[in-house]
Amino acid sequence: MIDREIRTRFDSDVAIITGSTRGIGAETARRLAVEGAAVVVTGRTTDDGQAVVKDIQDAGGTARFVESDLREPDDIAALFEATVDEFGGVDILVNNASVQTETAADETSIPDWEQVLRTDFRSYWLCSKHASEQMETGVIINISSNHAFSTMPAHFPYNAVKAGINGMTRAMAVDLGPDIRVNTVNPGWVAVERTLEDMDDGYRDHLEKIHPVGRIGHPEDVAGAVAFLASDDAAFITGESLLVDGGRGAVMQDDTVPDYSEQRGDGAW
C-alpha cells in the first residue's frame, strides 16, 4: 500500500477521475489526493463514491463526489460545471470509466456495441473536450488496456475501443498541445473486483507464473503510473501509451516463460 501522508506534488491542482467509485479509479483518486490534489470522485454508485471521498478526507485530503452517468452528455456537462463551481477549474482529468461485454465480433449486438462505445470511448472524448475548455495548462490521462496491443477471444468491442483510445490520445496530444499533455496508461491483469470474480486460486497462480515480475497488478501500480504522467516529472511526455502490465506484453508464448513463482519479492501476494 502507498504511504497515506499528504504531500504536495499536486498542491492547488484539481483532478477529476471518472469511474472512481472503486478499483483503479478509486485508488487513483486516493493517490492524487495523497499528493495534494483536490479530487472529484464520480460514478453511478453514490454509496461507493462517498466511501472513497471519506477515505480521502479521513487522510487529510480534499474530495467531493459527483454522481454522473457518463453515457449521458448532460451528466458530463453537469460534472464539469459542479467541479468548476466548487474548485474554480480543472487541472487533471483521468478518463477511467469502463464497461465490457464478453462477446465475439460475430456475436456482438448493436446494444453491446453502443454500450461500450458510449462509456469507454465517447465519454473520454466529451470529458476531454469539457476539460480542455477549463484548462489553461493541464494533463489528460486516458486509461486503456493491454487489449489495445494484444487480446483474447470474446472481448469485442472492448478490445477495439481500447486500441481506439490509444489513437485518440495521439490525436488529442497533437490538437491540444503545447499547453495540455495527453497520455494513455494501458494496464494488464490487475486485481480488481471485475477480474477477481471468476479467478480461483489455481488460475491466479497460473497468471502470476506467466508475468515476468511474478505477480498480477495492484490498483496502486496503475495509480502510480497515472501520478507520474500527471506530474512535472513527465513534462516532456505526450501522445504516449504506457503499458503497466508486469512485463506480460514482453512474453511471446507462455511455455517459454520461466517459473517466477519462487523468485517473487515483497510485492507478491
Confidence of residue 266 (pLDDT cuts 50, 70, 90): very low
* pLDDT score of 269 more than 50: no
Confidence of residue 268 (pLDDT cuts 50, 70, 90): very low
Three cell numbers at 24? Answer: 483503479
Q: Are strands 14-17 and 241-244 parallel, antiparallel or unpaired?
A: unpaired
Distance CA 257, CA 214 (A): 11
**pLDDT of the residue at 81:** 98
**pLDDT of the residue at 206:** 81
- Stated pTM of the model: 0.90
Contacts of 210 (CB under 8 A, 6+ apart): 248, 251, 254, 257
Terminal Cα distance for the chain, rounded: 12
**pLDDT of the residue at 196:** 62
Angle at 119 between CA 146 and CA 155, to 5 degrees: 40
Confirm or reject CATH 3.30.70.580 for domain 14-193+217-253, answering yes or no. Answer: no
* pLDDT score of 257 more than 80: no
Write out pLDDT tens, residues 2-48: 555 555 899 999 999 999 999 999 999 999 999 999 999 999 999 99
- Region of poorest pLDDT, from 38-42, 81-85, 152-156: 152-156
* pLDDT score of 152 more than 90: no
Catalytically active residues are: 158
* pLDDT score of 267 more than 50: no
**pLDDT of the residue at 260:** 57
Tell me which residue of 28, 43, 44, 148 sits closest to 92, measured CA to CA: 28
- Region of poorest pLDDT, from 106-110, 206-210, 256-260: 256-260
Of the two residues 59 and 189, the one the predictor is more confident about is 59
Of the two residues 264 and 136, the one the predictor is more confident about is 136
Contacts of 262 (CB under 8 A, 6+ apart): none
**pLDDT of the residue at 262:** 58
Tell me which residue of 112, 89, 71 sits closest to 15, measured CA to CA: 89
Percent of the chain scoring above 70 in pLDDT: 90
